[in-house]
Chain A
Amino acid sequence: GAVVSQHPSWVICKSGTSVKIECRSLDFQATTMFWYRQFPKQSLMLMATSNEGSKATYEQGVEKDKFLINHASLTLSTLTVTSAHPEDSSFYICSARDFWTGGLTEAFFGQGTRLTVV
Chain B
Amino acid sequence: QKEVEQDPGPLSVPEGAIVSLNCTYSNSAFQYFMWYRQYSRKGPELLMYTYSSGNKEDGRFTAQVDKSSKYISLFIRDSQPSDSATYLCAMSAQGAQKLVFGQGTRLTINP
Residue positions of A touching B, CB distance < 8 A: 1, 4, 6, 32, 34, 41-44, 46, 49, 51, 91, 93, 95, 97, 99, 104, 106-112, 114
Instruction: Report the separation of the CA atoms of residues A44 and B9 in the bound assembly, to the nearest whole angstrom.
Output: 17
Contact A43 B43, beta carbon cutoff 8 Å:
no
Q: Interface 1/0s, chain B 75-111, versus A by CB < 8 A?
A: 0000000000000101010111111011110100000
Residue positions of B touching A, CB distance < 8 A: 32, 34, 36, 41-46, 49, 88, 90, 92, 94-99, 101-104, 106
Contact B45 A104, beta carbon cutoff 8 Å:
no
Q: Give 20 A-B pairs besides A44-B88, A93-B44, A109-B44 with Cβ atoms closer than 8 angstroms.
A: A1-B46, A4-B43, A6-B43, A32-B97, A41-B106, A43-B101, A46-B98, A49-B97, A93-B43, A104-B94, A104-B95, A104-B96, A106-B32, A106-B34, A106-B46, A110-B43, A111-B42, A111-B43, A112-B41, A112-B43
Return chain A residues, CB-CB under 8 Å to B98.
34, 46, 49
What is the total of A-B residue contacts with beta carbons within 8 Å? 53
Contact A109 B45, beta carbon cutoff 8 Å:
yes
Contact A107 B99, beta carbon cutoff 8 Å:
yes
Contact (A104, B32) CB under 8 Å given A43-B103, A44-B88, A49-B97: yes
Contact B92 A104, beta carbon cutoff 8 Å:
yes
Q: Which of A34, A41, A49, A107 contacts B34 (CB 8 A)?
A: A107
Return chain B residues, CB-CB under 8 Å to A112.
41-43
Interface centre among A46, A95, A99, A107 (most CB of B within 10 A): A107
Q: Which of A46, A49, A108 contacts B46 (CB 8 A)?
A: A108
Nearest opposing residue in chain B for A105, CB measure: B49
Chain A: minimal CB distance from B59 (Å): 14
Contact B41 A43, beta carbon cutoff 8 Å:
no
Contact A107 B43, beta carbon cutoff 8 Å:
no
Return chain B residues, CB-CB under 8 Å to A106.
32, 34, 46, 49
